[in-house]
A and B are shown apart, each in its own frame.
Chain A
């Protein structure tokens, strides 16, 4: 037991701490960043909590009680836990990279497995805690749930992640086996991971759709919104009974008699223990199989011997730096996965929005078609899109967020090369910008095609997004130069306590706010003064002007300090 606790502690700490000796000043900066972010996100989280509170109130009117809705919320939480937890599950449990560090120790492999599984589980508990606080807790208050509900929330913290762990294992085991089979081909691994991720998302959306959360259809004669929602909740309550462990637990949470409470609680615990048993029964033999593979697989089975493969060429410093960087990104499956995801995330979001807006609006046809009929649609829709996408764009671009951290310790090799820092920086900027441009172009193209936004607005959006992305990338590059996360053994783990993504998020929030305010003011002016098209032209010119200025200032800030920070990077 002592060995298990010690190993679990080590694995957990290793995951969340890259640099154990962070200076007080830097730690203060990190805390300040988190506080600012919390302040920025607080309104959104409060809105979710208020919505859940309202849902609780509404559920009081359900004939069958709120257990079905509560089970639905648990299931939704589990979806988020699954989505965020599966990369950790794969990297912790089903990818054996540390066999050489652990096998020679006097610890049983089952203890190592249990410790790894516990770390993955604890990660999922953390996500669950967030979901409980902002979904289930306000729901309970709105529903005027009994005291037992709140007590069982604490138990739920540990029971709710078990189903996502089981589903995660069912997905991760064949995926890891497939990745092992494809050998050392990092590109194939990256593609496989990305495809798998979107498959999971698609299945999740399909399940939600089937359960009735997203189909959006309403009874044509229904006019009372509350009644429509009640009907919807009623139908969902029936469907979620099939996820029995959630339903019995929800029944126990909202039970008003002791008998109902204890019977449902015991069944829920038994079912969840069964889920845990299934996870272990599936994962342990697979872990042993992976362990054997990692030790006995060796690295020599795919030796190439053809000398004709040796293509030697000198193709110019910047080009060589860019292509070497690109090869390394695509071949390192974790970095590659994150990067490809960042490239396609915005276009995928547009498609998801389109599906959501494709819902029926009664006799009028699809909601999107109804919206298009409004005079303001062509003016407001591009503004909303550009505001939202510019916020996401900066945050999601891994190429621009971690240009130095992804080098890991080989940054010291770069420092010893006779290459000017400007060329090195240029190679990073070109690569990140090129990737962003592709992503931004696809996004704008999809908005034009799917949402019927005029092409010239699409072009204006592309200019705005490109400039904001470029400016944001300059700042995140600078932040990464100042405090790179080097010395990682697992890229995903290094991202968890990296400041860059939070800074990116902050920049995204600020820039989208600026675009929103500038655009909003002009729209108000245009609407109330009934001005002509030239006001809209000025609006877009003003927005683009602000964004160009932003990009220019950010670029200047980066070039002013970048070299100084680069030189200060020390082993």
Chain B
């Protein structure tokens, strides 16, 4: 479970709020899709949940643990797939996974088993002895996904996870997300690809200019046959000037 209560954030070099009074709860067993145009505050929200940024006000709880009060315990419950692949390029894939496993205190035998399992699943086994700098965009993305899963996180946060993945791997990832949620965990992911969000998520939230403008289940959205998620998204984020028909 992730709970954000009245969370706000303004960057040091900016006067406007990147995230403005955000209140949101994502339950266990749920895949939550976080949508919004560029610069809406999606990545800032994710960075606050993962502990990279500190909110100016408000509280963030991960599985009932207050991030500000017990950051390490809260972080140990999170598996994070960043969108920019800013990783240790001069490490080998296997060294990176060892590093992450150690940081999350995963026992060696368990680490070995999980690396082997996920590397096979994403066809990355052969590439693990190579430097990450030699990986393609998709391979780095797969490595990030594996790194986020090797400690079996209670909360899985993915920022644009499907970008660059081949169809097989994208399918595997979607299956994994579903399986993870069905096991009682929380999956929170942001994306620009509305079709994917529509197919995978149980509930969606749309953020625009730092404010959460709507949160609803896909079933509720689908009740109205005339309104698609895409048109809803375009209407909400267009500020009324060029609303989609």
Residues of A in contact with B (beta carbons under 8 Å apart): 21, 184, 186, 299-300, 302-307, 309-317, 320, 324, 327-328, 331-332, 408-410, 412-413, 415-420, 567, 570-571
The one of B74, B97, B130 that contacts A303, using a Cβ cutoff of 8 Å: B130
**Measured between alpha carbons, how far is A186 from B51 in the docked complex, in Å?**
32
B52 lies within 8 A of A416 (CB): yes
Q: Which of B79-105 contact A (CB under 8 A)?
A: 80, 82, 84, 86-88, 90-91, 94-95, 97-105
- B212 interface residue (CB < 8 Å to A): no
- Given A21-B13, A184-B133; A417-B103 close (CB under 8 Å): yes
B99 lies within 8 A of A320 (CB): yes
**Measured between alpha carbons, how far is A335 from B84 in the docked complex, in Å?**
23
A304 lies within 8 A of B130 (CB): yes
Q: Which residues of A contact B121 (CB under 8 A)?
A: none
- Given A312-B112, A313-B108, A314-B102; A412-B95 close (CB under 8 Å): no
- B66 interface residue (CB < 8 Å to A): no
B103 lies within 8 A of A418 (CB): yes
**Measured between alpha carbons, how far is A328 from B75 in the docked complex, in Å?**
24
B115 lies within 8 A of A416 (CB): no
Can you list 18 A-B pairs with a CB-CB distance of less than 8 A? A186-B90, A302-B134, A303-B126, A312-B94, A315-B102, A320-B102, A327-B91, A409-B84, A409-B86, A412-B52, A416-B51, A416-B78, A417-B75, A417-B100, A417-B103, A417-B104, A567-B54, A571-B53
Q: How far is the CB of A564 from chain B (nearest CB, A)?
A: 11
- B137 interface residue (CB < 8 Å to A): no
The one of A184, A315, A332, A418 that contacts B75, using a Cβ cutoff of 8 Å: A418
Contacts A313-B111, A314-B107 aside, 16 further interface pairs with beta carbons under 8 A come to A299-B134, A300-B134, A303-B130, A312-B108, A317-B103, A320-B98, A327-B90, A331-B131, A408-B86, A413-B82, A413-B87, A415-B51, A417-B100, A570-B11, A571-B52, A571-B53
Q: Which residues of A contact B73 (CB under 8 A)?
A: 418
Output the nearest chain B residue to A412 by Cβ-Cβ distance.
Answer: B52
**Measured between alpha carbons, how far is A111 from B82 in the docked complex, in Å?**
37
Output the nearest chain A residue to B147 by Cβ-Cβ distance.
Answer: A413
Residues of B in contact with A (beta carbons under 8 Å apart): 11-13, 47, 50-54, 71-76, 78, 80, 82, 84, 86-88, 90-91, 94-95, 97-108, 111-112, 115, 125-131, 133-135
- Among A21, A327, A416: residue with most chain B CB under 10 A: A416
Output the nearest chain B residue to A408 by Cβ-Cβ distance.
Answer: B86
**Measured between alpha carbons, how far is A237 from B11 in the docked complex, in Å?**
62
Q: How far is the CB of A167 from chain B (nearest CB, A)?
A: 31
Output the nearest chain A residue to B84 by Cβ-Cβ distance.
Answer: A409
**Measured between alpha carbons, how far is A156 from B76 in the docked complex, in Å?**
62
Q: Which residues of B contact A320 (CB under 8 A)?
A: 98-99, 102-103
Q: Which residues of B contact A331 (CB under 8 A)?
A: 90-91, 131
B101 lies within 8 A of A312 (CB): yes
**Measured between alpha carbons, how far is A299 from B93 in the docked complex, in Å?**
14
B108 lies within 8 A of A410 (CB): no
The one of B13, B105, B128, B133 that contacts A314, using a Cβ cutoff of 8 Å: B105
A410 lies within 8 A of B134 (CB): no
B80 lies within 8 A of A418 (CB): no
Q: How far is the CB of A336 from chain B (nearest CB, A)?
A: 9
The one of A21, A299, A311 that contacts B94, using a Cβ cutoff of 8 Å: A311
A310 lies within 8 A of B129 (CB): yes
Q: How far is the CB of A294 from chain B (nearest CB, A)?
A: 13
Output the nearest chain B residue to A184 by Cβ-Cβ distance.
Answer: B131
The one of A332, A412, A417 that contacts B86, using a Cβ cutoff of 8 Å: A412
